[in-house]
Copies of this chain bind each other. A is one copy, B any other.
Amino acid sequence: MKLVPLGDKIVLKQCEAEETTKSGIVLPGQAQEKPQQAEVIAVGPGGMVDGKEVTMLVSEGDKVIYSKYAGTTVELDGEEYIIVRQNDVLAIVK
Contact = CB atoms under 8 A, between A and B. Distances in A.
> Copies of this chain, how many?
7
Interface residues of chain A: helix, strand, loop or mixed (majority): strand
Contact of A50 (B37, B52, B74, B83): B52
Nearest to A68: B72
A22 B77 CA distance: 9
Given A57-B7, A65-B3, A83-B65, A74 B90 contact: yes
A5 B91 contact: yes
A: interface residue count bin: 35 or more
Interface of A: 1-7, 9, 11, 19-22, 35-37, 42, 47-55, 57-58, 65, 67-68, 72, 74-76, 78, 83, 86-87, 89-94
21 contacts: A1-B93, A1-B94, A2-B94, A3-B93, A6-B57, A6-B58, A6-B90, A7-B57, A9-B91, A21-B78, A22-B78, A37-B74, A48-B52, A65-B74, A65-B76, A65-B83, A74-B90, A74-B91, A76-B93, A83-B90, A83-B91
